[in-house]
Each structure stands twice: as C-alpha cells, then as structure tokens.
Amino acid sequence: MYLLQGGIAMRIKVSLDKNKTNSHGTQNQGESWNWEMVRGPRFKMLDLLKEIRQRENQNPEGGRTRAVWYKRFIYYFPSGKWWNLDVVLVRSL
C-alpha cells in the first residue's frame, strides 16, 4: 500500500494466474453469459467501484467501502487465458 496526499492510499493487487479459461463472455452489457470465451489479444478495463456501490445500496445494514477508485485491467490472450491487474485508491483509517 502506498500513501498519497489527503489521507488516500493506493493498493495494487496483481493476479498473474493466467487462468485456463474465462467466463467473461462476448455478450453485450446486461445480457446473460453466452458461454463464449473472450479471445485476444484484447485489453479491457472494468470499474469495480460501481458494482460495490450498488451492493452497498441494496444492503443498508452492511459496511461501507473505503475505496474511492477501483479499476480492473484485464489482458486476454489468443488462447482465452487472461491476466488481470486491480488498482484501488482507498481512504486511510
């Protein structure tokens, strides 16, 4: 974790598992999974904070995240394997 200005810290989480398959699919957003693998070379960025905020809004008794920015960067290989890098900015305690 790296401390930044204003009580914000940056946490970087790297997963280099090169998963054998992916279940992300080639469907459009909002459609159910079509059982197709994403094949590369392809790069994608996801905003995970949006999904976290939606879950928090549905659970009023749950805790609140300290994250202020949360992105996942995914690189897909032609075989369907993939690597991802998560970058998170969080408020310090």
> What pLDDT digit, counting tens, does each position of 30-85 carry?
788 777 888 889 998 988 888 877 777 777 776 777 778 888 888 888 888 888 88
Residue 22 β-bridge partners: none
Determine the pLDDT at residue 64: 73
Q: Is residue 32 part of a domain?
A: no
What is the rounded distance in angstroms from the CA atom of residue 93 to the CA atom of residue 91?
Answer: 7
pLDDT band of residue 14 (cuts 50, 70, 90) is: low
Q: Is residue 80 part of a domain?
A: yes
Please give the single-letter amino acid code of residue 16: L
Q: Is residue 31 part of a domain?
A: no
Tokens of 45: 């960025």
User: What is the pTM (predicted TM-score) of this model?
Assistant: 0.68
Q: Which residue would you say has higher pLDDT here, 86 or 8?
A: 86
Q: What is the DSSP letter of 6?
A: G
- From residue 32, give the alpha-carbon distance in Å to each of 8, 28, 59: 36, 8, 24
Total domains, the chain: 1
Range of the domain at 60: 2-25+37-91
Q: Is residue 30 part of a domain?
A: no
* Predicted confidence (pLDDT) at residue 3 exceeds the cutoff of 60: no
